[in-house]
Amino acid sequence: VSGIATFIQEAAIVALDQDTTWMRDNYKERRDTSLRMLEEYSIKVVKPEGAFYFFVDVKEFNLSSEAFCEKALYEYKLAMVPGVYFGEHCDHFVRLSYATGVDELYEGLRRLGKMVTDLRQ
């Protein structure tokens, strides 16, 4: 009844023949630089091993992941995804993507650093 259109299948074949080393290296650099920045702010994070997301541990702030994300959005202009959306056991995490522009990523990490510094005071 349904299937993938022929032109999409042909595009996939072409895509599979492309050298993506440059992009993999780019994401690795973003990940590693982001991890160093998070470490500077003493932010605990689960190091990604296959995706371009961090799970940031926000348990120390005694806020639900939704409350943490709302505060980040409205007070620091920083968008993240509440961990509770991935299950109740993840409510002390927020998800942060590093699949964005480098300038935006590092600015977002600085804002997160400012937020956690303010919350710790």
User: Which residue do the tokens 């303010």 mark?
Assistant: 118
Rounded (10°) CA dihedral 65, 70, 76, 82: 30
Beta strand extents in 3-92 (DSSP E only): 45-46, 53-57, 81-82
pLDDT tier for residue 3 given thresholds of 50, 70 and 90: confident
As a whole-number percent, the residues of the chain with pLDDT over 90 amount to 92
pLDDT of 56 reads: 96
Mean pLDDT, the chain, rounded, equals 95
The pTM score is 0.85
Query: What are the tens digits of pLDDT across the range 52-69?
Result: 999 999 999 999 999 999
pLDDT greater than 80 at residue 93: yes
pLDDT band at 50 (very low <50, low <70, confident <90, very high): confident
Q: Enumerate residues 6+ apart whose C-beta is below 8 A from 99.
A: 27, 52, 53
Going through the chain in order, the beta strands assigned E by DSSP cover 45-46, 53-57, 81-82, 93-97
Whether the CB-CB separation of 31 and 100 falls below 8 Å is answered with no
Q: What is the mean pLDDT of residues 83-87?
A: 95
